[in-house]
Structures are given as C-alpha cells and as structure tokens.
Structure 1
C-alpha cells in the first residue's frame, strides 16, 4: 500500500490551527490569572480599608471617652462649687440657731432638720456626678460601725454612702429594714443585703418604695433604716435573697448610650430604666455636632445573630417606656467593637 504524504501547505495549515488553539488556551489561562490577582488585590484592599475603619472607630471611641471624662470632671467641679456655697449658708444658719440661748432644747430637732435639708442638697449633686447607687443610711446609736465601713469598702458594685441624722434616737433600736426604689439594680440590692447579713445585721424587711414629688433623685436609691416589727417577724437570710436578684440574663450585656440633642428628661428616664433592667450601662456625653455615622432616628445596634433576640426585646421595652418615642433595630457594621464584644454589646443612638 502506497504511503501518502501531506503537502507542505497542509502541514503549515495544521500547525497554524494548533497554534491558534494553544494561543486561545494561553489567553484563557492569562485572563484567569488576572482575575485571581485582581480578586486578591481587591480583597486585600478591602481588608485594609476595614482595618483602617476599625482603627478610626477605635480612636473615635477613645475621643468620646476622653470627652466624657472631661465633661464629668467639669460637672463635678461646678457642682462642688455650688455645693460649698449652699452648705456654707446652711451651716451659718445652724450655727446661729445653736448659739441662740433663748431657744429651748427642743429646738435642736429643728436644727437637725436643717442639717437633713443640707444633706438632701448634697444627695442631688452626688446623684448627678456619680454613677454609683446612693445608699442613704439612717444611722442609729446602737448600730455597729461595720455598716458604714462595709458600704464604703464594697467594690463591684460600689456605692455612694449618705449618712442621715435620726431624730429622737434613744439608742435602743438598730436598723433592720432595707428600702429600694424602682430604678435600683436588683443584683446590687442583693449584694448589699448579703454584705450586711455577713457582718451580723439583723434584717427584718426588704421593701420597695416610691419617691415623692421633689425627691425624684430617690428613684435610684437604696435606704437602710428602722421599722417597728412584731416578735413573730422572721429575719431575712441569704437563702431569701434569690427573690430579689435579677430574673434575667441582662447582666451579661453591655449597652453604650450616645445622644445628639436629646430630650433631657426622656434621656434620664431611659438610662434609669435600662439600669433597672440590670444591663451594664455606660452613658457617654452628648454630641454637640451630629457625627456622620450617627443614626437619623433613635436606633439600637446589635452585632451578632446571637444577640438579635435580646436587642429586639430591648427595643420593645424602650418603646413602651416613653409615649411617642420609637427605636429602630439595626445590625451594626462592627466598627469599634472587638470580636469578644460582638455577642454581648448594644449601642443606642438617641436623638429627638
């Protein structure tokens, strides 16, 4: 059989066809490589941008905290100045009453009332400049000095001690009752009572109370006093304290509260209410100029699917608190929030 050979033209055409197919494959490979490299560059750039945004957010948070501390220091200084001026007048009046020989001994009760009025003024200022819950202690002559030391030394929670003079104290009775107002953190209340029990204070009652008009600062106060009881009244024990502890998991959540041109009264009601729900609340100073990242409507930001349900419940609770005020719920981008905080942190933006 005769062997056939391709002509030179056919051979050249076949080589060209193979070259075209090879070049086409090379082109596809190059395009794929370009796409991969571009994706890597874009991903790297986005990662850098996110890191930069997180760094910027971190510095903004630090700036906010510094402003908060500066504002708090300024407020404390102004309040103390006003306090000193007021107390000087009150003490001058008391000194005059004590030196008045024409007044009978019974008039000392009136003097003590003047002292108590001065203490009320101090409480109002203390309530404004301190985040600690005030413990008003109606100290009696028969009380152990350990009570005062305990309140002053407690940490996490810490309390602000306010001693109150008791009129007609005959030295025969000791404090036996704890009163708490509506905005008091129940876990703080329980910790204080447990501490008092541990130093031997015989507590007979733990009761809620409502502040009267003109004493709204008492809405976040615990009081320690005396109340007459019968012989059958049982003493409070540590096992009884479970009913006074918070019955929710709010303690594990942290809330950062930011404002721009808020209604001051509403802001105070909201922050006191959040604290009463046993959340860990941190209130920052109001923004004087609205930041670009600040929400246009009252908003609660959450940062994890794990905390979405809790954020939804918080939104509903706040919306029921003040008539006409409605918070929106939104998932935040996470700037300024560390990875370990994503599951337990909420940021509240409040404005009117």
Structure 2
C-alpha cells in the first residue's frame, strides 16, 4: 500500500511529543483527523502492527492501544477524545543482575486484536517512549484507522488520552542509568486480554543487510538522532502468521548513529566511577559536542583559596557524567529534522 494510506499523516515527522497534557498525545501533531486517510478492514483475532522507518533506538517502552470510535463518528473523523482507549500490547525493560536495558534494534511491533472486542471503527495507536533524558520523556506516536469485523461483546476498561499518564509517573520520570532500577512497570493501563490473547508481545529486530525501497529513501532524509516511531507503518497479517514474517527494513541505515549513542553508556559508566574526568567519556558520540575535559580533570590546586578545582565526590562525578551524556543526547535530538515522507505502508502477508 502507499505511504500514509492507512496511517494518519502528521506534521511532526520524526520529532517527539513532550507535553503529556497535550491532545497531540493521541495521534501526534496535526493528526486530529484522517479525512484523507483510508480505513483498513481487519477481522478480530487477526494480527496487526506498526513498522517504523528505522529502529526505535531510544531506550524506553512501547505500547499499542485501540481507541473505540464513539457513535456518530468514524475512524476518519474521530479526534481520539474521551475515555475510549485500551492497551493491547506493551514491551518493557530487560532487567538482569545490575542491568536495566530496553531493546534498541526493533523496527516492527506486532500484536493481535482481541477476538472478543466489538465490531466497529477503531484507531490503532502506537507509542514508543524515549527515556534517555531523565525526567523528560519523549513520546513517538502514530495512529492507523481500522474497521474491525467479527468480534464479540467485551467491554475493556478504558482510559482517556491525555490523562492516562502523568509527567511524574515513575514509569516515565525515572533515571534509567543510576541508580540502576531493579523493577519496571510500563506506563499506562494494563494490557487487555480476552483469554485467548495475552497482548502478543512480538517485536522484530531490523535486519542488518536489507532495505525496502520506500524506507531507504525516508531514512536518508530523516534526522539520524531521532527515532522513527513517530511516523510508522501498519503491518497486518492473519492470526496464524508468525511474527518472524515481518519484512526486513531500512532501519539499519540509522543503526550506526543509534549504536554510537547507546553503546557510549557503558564507557561513560566505567569512566565515571574511576576518574574525575568522566565527562570526557561522552565524547564517544560523533554527533555530540565535545565536553570540557580540562574543567574536570585539571590537577588539584595547591592553594587553599581555590578549592573549586578539587575533584568532586565520586557519586557526584557519576551523576555529572550522565547529565553531560543526556545534554549531548538532547542536543542531538534538537537538530533540525529535514525528513521527508517516511515508510508508512500497511502490509498484508
């Protein structure tokens, strides 16, 4: 299918929504309606999903919601207002012994429409939340227009967007680097299950050698510092289709940039714990501005009148290092986004 055929186009491109009280949290900036967007018919119990134009490399959770269109509206006219949303998928953190990470190589997210939801029009909403800057979550959002056939009479508990997440919720306000979290609950409500589906938490990593013709163009035009979950494609398959059938994408074209940011955390952590010059560790990102190593690594002053040059306590140095890291990431994310049309195709297989 063509670009933006079933996914509402937005004016935000690959940039995030950062105001959790804004109505842009529903379907992104400029996507309050979809008069020019087609509505896709899909049977309850079928697999659906979103495909990004590049891997969502910012560390953070993902979720897929269904918004039940109220009477008198259609999937094309509804602006997403009211308590009509329920979650059908989430992807959280991988927690190990002293480790806390999120997948950063995924470009396709699939789930199953619960077989018991009532037939009718829905908005299918994807969100990926970037938590790389502590206390400043970034939401990358897209909505597709669906007509669900078949189904049943289930009445899931519903939430309103905005309002389903507060800025001070631990799930979006925590520091994912230090102290290392030992538990994590995804933002928003619990995943609705009808007894036959469990949220179908399937996600596909980007293939490192293949590109799609449309996505390849869009990635080249997009800012490498941004995740593409803000403008995604919808993937639809039969209930029996394996999740591994998601096509390879062009997400690899941004993998180098993503890796340089994500992998620098390990070096930064080690350096911060051993040296007052820890801020120089964040210089591993080519796109990040150089930090002033001299300001933190200068030899201690022999004069009692100049205590400012003494090295701070190791705990403060560690936090200073991550503050510098987050500052670099924020600077990269604020770069002008010159992206054009992204890969927003609905695929059937």
TM-score normalized by structure 1?
A: 0.21
The structure with the greater share of residues assigned to strand is 2
Greater Rg over alpha carbons, structure? 1
